[in-house]
Each structure stands twice: as C-alpha cells, then as structure tokens.
C-alpha cells in the first residue's frame, strides 16, 4: 500500500507508484507551489500534470491565507452523474449522435423560468453570465453517455439507485466565463500573493468563489437537463462533485484552507473518475479515515492525500502538441470512433486531437494507484457510448 504514496519532501506527497508516468515539470511545479507562504502540505494525485505555473491534479493545504490562482479560472469545475430513463439496450449510435445539434447554443427563452427559479434556489444573484448556463465549454469539458460495464460492489450501486440497464450521463463542466472573470479581477488587484484571512478582499473573493461553485453546479444541472431533453428521457442526479475549489478544512487538528485544482474530494461520498473518451470511467467509493481508525498506515495516507483523489486519467501530452503527434497517423475521421466502440461528436479539429485518448494516461493505472494507497474502493466500471464535446466550427 505504501508503494503508491511517494514522499517528495517533508510536506509534499505524491499518490502514485513509481511505475506511473508523471511529467517532470509537473513535479517541479508541485514543489515550487509547496514553497508558497503559509503552505502546510501539498499532495499530488496520480493524474498530476503541468499547468500554467501551478500543476493540475493536486491539493494544497494552507493556514491563514488562500491562493485564488491555485484554484484557477474554472472555479467550481466538476463532474455530475445522471441516470437516465433511457435503456442501454435501445441505443442506436447513429441516431443518438444526431440529436445534439443545438446543445451548445445558449438556452432559449423556454428555459428562462427554470433558470430563474434554480438560480434563486441556489442563491445565485450574479447576472451577466446566464447565457453560458447550460453550455459545456471547451478544453477537457464534455457530456458523455455511458453504460455500466462491470459491477464490483452491487450494494453501493443500489445505494446510489443505479441500474445497469439504464444509460448514464456524465457531465464535466464548470463556471465558464464567471469563474474566469473572478480570477482575472482578483489577480489584477492582488497579483499571485494570495489573500490573508484578515485582508479586505478575502471575504469578497470567497463569496464570489462560493457563488461560482454554485453557478458551476447549476451549469452542469442545466447541461444534463438539455441533453436529457434532446434524447427525450428523464434523469436523476446521482452525484455532483466539484474538483476546482478552496474550502475550509481541519487536517490533523489544524484549521486551514484546502485548495483543490483538478483534485476530487474524498469526503463527499461516491465519485466518478473519468478516463479519456476512449477509456473506461470508474465509479468509486472513497475510503474514509473513520472507517480505518484501526489502521494507522491507511489513516496517514488519507491525511497525506489531503482528502483528495485524481479527477481523471491525467494528460500525458500537452494540449496543442497532440495534432502534431497524431496527425500523420490518424485522419480526422478516424477520431470519431474509439477503441471501445464509442462515438465522438466534436466539431473543432484541434479539440478533437487535443482530447484524443492517446493524449491521456490509461485510467486504470490512476485508479490502481489510489486503490493501492488505500484511498478508494472501485464500485463499477463505466464504458463510453457517446462523447459530446462541441458541434463547433467544422472549418477549424
């Protein structure tokens, strides 16, 4: 179990076995970030990869101050899983792939009432970004129909109300332009110095941050609703977990702030760790310290992992270099089907290559690292059926 937790320094750990490939630059960024003022502990997840200055796939625990730049621009980004009323056995891939022509446009006026009531219910008062509600965005964001492929813990699946016969819908998106504007405003005022709890801007950022988290949750809800509408099905949300956020947390008896950047919380119940569009995703049950207080080694792992897990398989290749690496071998048409037989809807050429399965690690290695570290139990394996990225501009 200890083999998949690497101690990089006194307060920097990496949840990954020696065999799991992690880019050197990402480790450098992890160490650099650990040297920030007030930083108590840093934990890299097995999907750690380089970001813009700060790594992605990591959790950062500070006391007395927060670093909004560590959360990044996509405040509240996360994953939600919906069970649809549609049956897997009735899926016709050709027909299914054609049902999403309008899903990336702003929601039309027929959604106005539901948007207003859901905003009010979630205490979202910010205006000016409503046009992005219900839209997926770019990068690694997606909406993916999946089937439960293999079950390892039927009781857990029952607890979640999940049925193998039903088509599942996994949504990965965030707060779109809202989170971006909050970070840009913050950096313009405070640079990368972070904010002490006593600073005037602290509560202002945290209030805006918390609202952006709720906005991102609502965005995923509306994306799910419009995809369900597109296939004329009903659905129920099984889980919704944010992986980009900062929240108060007591760790090892110490009150502080836990920043998660591409790090899935392990203290919020069941989570889905998605593979690339050509790989399986895993529904997992985080193992809580309380359940293992008879096992000090496991407890220590849960603490050193900062109550966090990987948020995906992790990039192997940088964005932007994928077209060059794959272009000579794969034509554009080759990328609309995956090795698992699933389909891809993506109208943007660069995105099609950037998010190719080859650009990501095998999700199984990331999962087994966390199993070996005693952090999770795998509940079920989900296979992709149709991944929607964007209808996009087909000329690009």
Partner DNA sequence: ATGTCC
Active site residue 192: no
Residue 157 and residue 72: Cα distance in Å, rounded? 33
Residues 315 and 360 sit within 8 Å (Cβ to Cβ): yes
- Shortest Å distance, C-beta 139 to DNA: 3
Where do contacts with DNA occur on this chain (CB under 7 A)? 52, 56, 73-74, 77, 128-129, 131-132, 137-141, 173-174, 176-177, 180-181, 348
Is 389 within any annotated ligand binding site?
yes
Residues 133 and 107 sit within 8 Å (Cβ to Cβ): yes
CA distances to 117, 118, 133 from 111, in Å: 10, 11, 10
Helix, strand, or coil (residue 46): strand
Is 74 within any annotated ligand binding site?
yes
Is 219 within any annotated ligand binding site?
no
Based on CB atoms, which residue is closest to DNA, 4 or 281?
Answer: 281
Residues 329 and 372 sit within 8 Å (Cβ to Cβ): no
Based on CB atoms, which residue is closest to DNA, 38 or 392?
Answer: 392
Is 290 within any annotated ligand binding site?
no
- Shortest Å distance, C-beta 57 to DNA: 10
Based on CB atoms, which residue is closest to DNA, 71 or 298?
Answer: 71
Based on CB atoms, which residue is closest to DNA, 174 or 275?
Answer: 174
Residues 363 and 283 sit within 8 Å (Cβ to Cβ): no
Is 233 within any annotated ligand binding site?
no
Helix, strand, or coil (residue 358): helix
- Shortest Å distance, C-beta 52 to DNA: 7
Residue 181 and residue 244: Cα distance in Å, rounded? 15
- The residue annotated as part of the active site, out of 186, 311, 323, 328, is 311
Question: 271-273 and 281-286 as β-strands: parallel, antiparallel, unpaired?
Answer: antiparallel
- Shortest Å distance, C-beta 361 to DNA: 15
Q: Which residues are annotated as a binding site?
A: 74, 140-144, 172, 243-244, 281, 311-314, 389
Active site amino acids: 311
Q: Which residues are annotated as a binding site for Mn(2+)?
A: 74, 141, 172, 243
């Amino acid at each position: 179990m200890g083999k998949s937790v690497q101690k990089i320094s006194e307060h920097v750990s990496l949840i990954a076995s020696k065999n799991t490939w992690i880019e050197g630059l990402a480790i450098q960024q992890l160490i650099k970030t650990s040297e920030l003022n007030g930083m108590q502990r840093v934990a890299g997840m097995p999907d750690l990869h380089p970001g813009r200055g700060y790594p992605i796939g990591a959790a950062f625990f500070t006391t007395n101050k927060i670093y909004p730049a560590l959360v990044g621009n996509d405040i509240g980004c996360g994953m939600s899983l919906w069970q649809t009323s549609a049956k897997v056995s009735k899926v016709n891939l050709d027909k299914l792939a054609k049902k999403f022509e309008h899903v990336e446009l702003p929601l039309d006026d027929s959604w106005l009432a539901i948007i207003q009531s859901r905003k009010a219910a979630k205490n979202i008062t910010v205006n000016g970004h409503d046009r992005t509600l219900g839209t997926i965005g770019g990068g690694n964001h997606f909406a993916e129909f999946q089937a439960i492929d293999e079950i390892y813990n039927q009781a857990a699946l029952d607890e979640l109300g999940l049925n193998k016969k039903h088509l599942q819908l996994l949504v990965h998106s965030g707060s779109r332009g809202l989170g971006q504007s909050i970070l840009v405003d913050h950096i313009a005022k405070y640079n990368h110095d972070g904010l002490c709890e006593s600073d005037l801007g602290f509560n202002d950022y945290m209030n805006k941050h918390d609202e952006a988290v709720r906005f991102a949750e609502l965005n995923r809800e509306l994306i799910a609703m419009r995809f369900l509408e597109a296939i004329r099905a009903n659905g129920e949300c099984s889980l919704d977990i944010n992986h980009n956020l900062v929240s108060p947390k007591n760790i090892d008896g110490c009150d502080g702030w836990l920043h998660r950047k591409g790090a899935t919380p392990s203290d919020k119940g069941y989570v889905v760790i998605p593979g690339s569009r050509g790989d399986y995703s895993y529904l997992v049950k985080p193992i809580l310290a309380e359940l293992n207080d008879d096992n000090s080694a496991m407890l220590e792992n849960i603490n050193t992992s900062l109550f966090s897990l990987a948020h995906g398989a992790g990039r192997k290749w940088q964005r932007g270099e994928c077209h060059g690496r794959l272009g000579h071998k794969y034509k554009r048409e080759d990328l609309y089907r995956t090795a698992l037989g699933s389909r891809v809807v993506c109208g943007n050429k660069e995105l099609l290559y950037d998010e190719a399965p080859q650009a990501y690690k095998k999700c199984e290695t990331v999962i087994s690292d966390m199993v070996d570290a005693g952090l999770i139990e795998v509940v079920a394996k989900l296979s992709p059926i149709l991944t929607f990225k964007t209808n996009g501009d087909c000329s690009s």
